[in-house]
Structure 1
Amino acid sequence: MKLIVLSLITGALVGFVFALLKLPIPAPPALPGIMGIIGIYLGYQAYIWVAGTFLK
């Protein structure tokens, strides 16, 4: 839980600094960005499953 809170605080600070400097937000559009993150997570989990099942 601590890692999640620290990640949220870090992200908020980065977003604040980018807005302060009038720079574009350093993230993809909302839905495509979320889907990309979910895809990365699912790919990682798929590798763990494949490695555990077939590469023993």
Structure 2
Amino acid sequence: MDFFRILVAILLPPLGVFLQEGIGAQFWLNILLTLLGYIPGIIHAVWVIVKR
């Protein structure tokens, strides 16, 4: 299941965070990072998934 979430996080970072954490602070932070740059959004999403 983590492989699927990491794959989703690479393709659509906010969706990967949503699947892991739901709609919360991490989700909104990831949306902001993704809007500022796709790569920071991916890094944050993978970090959120791996840290659990």
TM-score under structure 2 normalisation? Answer: 0.34
Q: Which has the higher contact order (CA 8 A, sep 6+)?
A: 2
* Higher helix fraction (1 or 2): 2
Larger radius of gyration: 1
What TM-score results when the alignment is normalised by the length of structure 1? 0.33
